[in-house]
Structure 1
Amino acid sequence: MATTTDSAADVPAPVGDAGAPEAHPGTERARVPSRFPYRTISMGTIGSVLLLLGALGAGGVLIRDPVIGTGPLSWVRYGHGRVLANGVLYAGFGLVVWAWVRLGRYMLAGRIGSRPIAIAAACWMGPLLISPPLFTRDVFSYLGQGAQLLHGLDPYAHGPAELEILPNIVQNVHPVWQTTPAPYGPLFLLVAKGVVAVTGDNVIAGVILTRLVLLLGLGAMVWALPRLVRHLGGKLPITMWLAVASPMTVIHLVGGPHNDLMMLGFLTVGVLAVLERKHVLGIALVTLGMLIKPTAAVALPFLVWVWVNHLPGDNRLRNFVKAGAASLGIFAVVFVFGTWVSLGSVNLGWVTGLKAPQLVTNWLNPSTGVGQIVYTLVHLVINVPESPFVTVARLLSWVGLAVFFVLQWWRARVGGNEAIFRMAMTLLATAILAPPTLPWYLTWGFVVAAAFPWRRRHLAIVVGVAIFLVMAYYPTGEQALYDWWFVVVTIALGVYAAASLLRPDPLGLIGAWRRPVAGSVAEGGRVASR
């Protein structure tokens, strides 16, 4: 690979739907030189550093910060200082997105492979490892629930507010979750317990250590993706760009951080194991993923079909019974043993905790949005509460999701790649239709789907959606979905970034700035007046 830097012009060769360079009609296909994108990686890294700096004043900061809370820099969290911090943070986000889109253009033009994309993702994630939480405060809930388990308080029966010790951790838990039981699997609470056992009441150390532990999931995912690509037919650079270097992973999953990252590690390695006929290992790994984040269970019935189609003989009913019974047995053993190791007993109270996230209501979940729209229209005529409308709409959404699940599962009976594709689509549908819909939930199915072939126009849609999903919440972790001017600006920026993947500078903004003025001539690459 050549060591020249990426071009300032940043104009890729046209690409076909498969992602390979494509010649214009009537012309010979020209070989695009391979280049290492130093400038693009540096741009994203600078953006990540700005995210870190801006988060000190505008991110998920501590109630009582021992570092800058009362020091000479405390002004960044109030008044004009906070406005400046937000500006720095969003500028950093813009640079990361710009770098990601540029990287995508180089990838589609065939100028880079997967290695520069992996290096870029690592450089962009690096500064965020020590950042305050970005666009969420969930990590403080993780620490609070781990502290409960560490000190003998059942996190599935009580909220962190009932914990009388470790006040720094407890006071930073979001008010919604102060009195709410944990909605996470017992294995993740065991991980959180271990983090708190090491860091104690030091919340900053707890956040950083949580990120480092969750990186194990990222490492497993990065290990599995090249192998999944070989099975599922995608292109590794595209997969890495979508699943690893995306702002959804860099900013939400790592910058957040979110335990979905660890679940995805178990899920991707488990799916790979089943495709490679290591069925027992695969089912066990995905079950462990469920003990991190329960929604991984959606994948299990689809993996049964893959196993069925790997068995010899033409008697599909017998094969289904054999694979299904074995899968249930593996699931039961891992589920019971994992729960017992994590909690010290077979405490199934965590299953009832799954309803806790439904306290979150916003229109990102379509059924909630429909319920709120109907309520608004009815409320114009008569004074009624909102909850019945949202509840009925959500119930209908659950029914629709159940029907979708059954149809996809039945159509997945051919096994192989078809079953994995329908599994990924069902995980995406679960994230969208099952309330609540939180932006990082869409990574559940998306990471697996990234290993399939992609058309470039679909990649452009992903760019726009990813930008919207990151900006759907303010850097503090509060939702921005009812700030309509902010939403309009976010959508406009997403559309512009999506178009920029396919055509650099789609509105001609940079070109107009660079265009020589009338009455000027170019001399030696510079513009000189006559």
Structure 2
Amino acid sequence: MPPTVPTASAHDWPEGTSESAAERFSTGGRALRGPLPLRTVALGAIGSVLLLIGSFGAAGTLVHDPVLDSGPLSVIRYGHGKDLATAIVYLGFGLLVWAWIRLGRGVLAYRVGSRGVLLAAAAWLAPMLVAAPMFTRDVYSYLGQGLLALRGFDPYRFGPGLLTGPITENVHPTWQTTPAPYGPLFIGIAKGVVLVTGDDVIAGVIVMRLVLLIGLAMLIAALPGLVRHLGGRLPVALWLVAASPMTVVHLVGGPHNDMLMIGMLAVGTLLVLDGRHAAGIALVSLAMAVKATAGLVLPFLVWVWASRLSGTLPQRFLRAAVPGVAVFGVSFGASMLAAKVGMGWLPALSAPGMIVNYLSAPTGLGQAVHSLVSMFVDVDRTPFVEAGRTVGSLVLAAVIAWQWWQARHGGVDALRRAAIVLCAGALLSPTVLPWYLTWGVALGCALPWTPRALSWVVGSSVALVLAYYPDGEQAMYNWPLVAVGIGAAVLSGLSLLRFDPLGLTEPAEPVRVPVGAG
């Protein structure tokens, strides 16, 4: 037998996990090729198909649908038909989460390898390619901003509501007059999609999904190298980012441009770790030209580059930072020239701040203080929310500065701290949307994970998806639904660690499952 590695106690492992499996997880051993988890794949595929069916009535459907506005299927868009479609969506999501947890247990027990996870991800993602936008309407804003650019208007000055037509009428009212908060590269991409699909909104959504799916392909392709550098396990990393309900429902089902951003970020980071520093920083700069969040990682990549040079710390930093800034300037400038837009995206970054919800810790703090004060005096909520967001911005700046300085020796630690900063950037932003969780996971998935930490990711993923209705409106103030969501999140997290977290079955002796057993 291999030597015992005391890095995880027995209660950290799912019931049925063999001792040698736990040891191999701790030491990063190679997973054996077991049989494919076909029943689990089928379970998740059924859930995904139900999500697809329900989306046509309950998700971000078109104001005027050329397919469903007439005929017998139109019933699912209104009244009891829409209620039924909503129930189908939640049932499908439940089956998908159940399958994901079953798959995760197999991954942790070394009974499911990378090919099993990839098979599951492909089966679960495929129905989402033609679904109506799930739990969001953002894709219509993307198309509207692309249409603005195509018509010669500056999307950083005007909102889609400036124009008329089938694309604009489907943009959420909140974003009708809001400038685009996205980078120039993404505006160019959206412009190209609208150029290809014209006013056909259904085709526009599908083509946008396919373009953004390139980001997921890039992320999956980068994971073997990232795992090699950062010390994680490839099946775990794939399970976290490729088969996750957050990916299926939000990144692909949405879809969201975060998917393209994190894919470019992952490949760029791998290039830097492999010693191709300039190419990696160029690609991460282009990821920032999709969504500004990727820029948080650039200072950490400079430390990785500097750690491979000679001289004192200040000398090494300057020798890496100067060419790094030059590469960034050329890459970002090229994206602006290609998209034919200027720097107006910088002030537009504040646009998501229009959304006020307690998923953002600073915003939630301001709301909580306002609720307490309003028990005694009638006051406006805005100053409290703004004060909370100011505190959050200061805390985030301190976290970024501290983590960056602690990363000055480069190596794996720099990337671990970059992942922490991405998570902090999501949680401490003035506005937090569910898919922001994917920012930190994109890099963090390649690090070593304990099962208990993974259970927190599972619970958070479930809770964040259920924080919105299938049509993209906030559900966070529907307190009965919030209670159900929290209960589902806790149960899901515990289910990764325990076969029967509710104790519904008779207790039995633990079953020892050989590594690689079916």
TM-score bracket, normalised by the shorter chain, equals over 0.9
Report what 2:203 is aligned to.
205
| Structure 1: runs of 5+ lacking an equivalent | 1-9, 23-30, 513-530
Q: Where in structure 2 are the equivalents of 1:85-124 lying within 5 Å?
A: 85-124=85-124
Report what 1:297 is aligned to.
295
User: What residue identity is the alignment partner of 1:109?
Assistant: A
Q: Where in structure 2 are the equivalents of 1:121-520 lying within 5 Å?
A: 121-164=121-164, 167-311=165-309, 313-343=310-340, 347-509=342-504, 511=505
- The separation in 1 between residues aligned to 2:216 and 2:480, in whole angstroms, is 35
Counterpart contact for 2:33–2:113, Cα < 8 Å:
no
Deviation at 1:335, TM superposition (A): 1.3
- The separation in 2 between residues aligned to 1:35 and 1:65, in whole angstroms, is 44
Report what 1:527 is aligned to.
none
Classify the secondary structure of the residue corresponding to 1:414.
Answer: coil
Deviation at 1:505, TM superposition (A): 2.1
Q: TM-score, normalised by structure 1?
A: 0.90
User: What residue identity is the alignment partner of 2:304?
Assistant: V
User: What residue identity is the alignment partner of 1:74?
Assistant: S
Q: TM-score, normalised by structure 2?
A: 0.92
Classify the secondary structure of the residue corresponding to 1:67.
Answer: coil
> Are the structure 2 counterparts of residues 15 and 423 from structure 1 closer, same or farther at C-alpha, using a change threshold of 3 Å?
farther
Stretch moving more, 315-324 or 221-230: 315-324
Q: Percent same amino acid at aligned positions? A: 52
Larger RCO, structure (CA 8 Å, separation 6 or more): 2
- The separation in 2 between residues aligned to 1:187 and 1:314, in whole angstroms, is 37
CA root-mean-square deviation: 1.9
Deviation at 1:35, TM superposition (A): 2.3
Q: 2:17 aligns with which of 13, 19, 29?
A: 13
- The separation in 2 between residues aligned to 1:399 and 1:358, in whole angstroms, is 16
Counterpart contact for 1:367–1:393, Cα < 8 Å:
yes
Deviation at 1:492, TM superposition (A): 0.6
Structure 1 outlier segments of 4+, above 6 Å = none
> Are the structure 2 counterparts of residues 300 and 112 from structure 1 closer, same or farther at C-alpha, using a change threshold of 3 Å?
same
**C-alpha offsets along residues 14-38 of structure 1, whole Å, 9 cap, x if unaligned?**
568967479xxxxxxxx99932111
- The separation in 2 between residues aligned to 1:94 and 1:492, in whole angstroms, is 13
Classify the secondary structure of the residue corresponding to 1:329.
Answer: helix
Report what 1:54 is aligned to.
54
Counterpart contact for 1:18–1:456, Cα < 8 Å:
no
Stretch moving more, 377-386 or 31-40: 31-40
Deviation at 1:12, TM superposition (A): 3.7
Counterpart contact for 2:76–2:82, Cα < 8 Å:
yes
Classify the secondary structure of the residue corresponding to 2:492.
Answer: helix
Count of residues paired in the alignment:
491
Report what 1:7 is aligned to.
none
Classify the secondary structure of the residue corresponding to 1:213.
Answer: helix
**C-alpha offsets along residues 292-313 of structure 1, whole Å, 9 cap, x if unaligned?**
00111100001000000011x2
Q: Where in structure 2 are the equivalents of 1:18-57 lying within 5 Å?
A: 20=24, 34-57=34-57
Counterpart contact for 1:15–1:108, Cα < 8 Å:
no
| Structure 2: runs of 5+ lacking an equivalent | 1-13, 507-518
Counterpart contact for 1:306–1:416, Cα < 8 Å:
yes
Counterpart contact for 1:15–1:109, Cα < 8 Å:
no
- The separation in 1 between residues aligned to 2:140 and 2:71, in whole angstroms, is 23
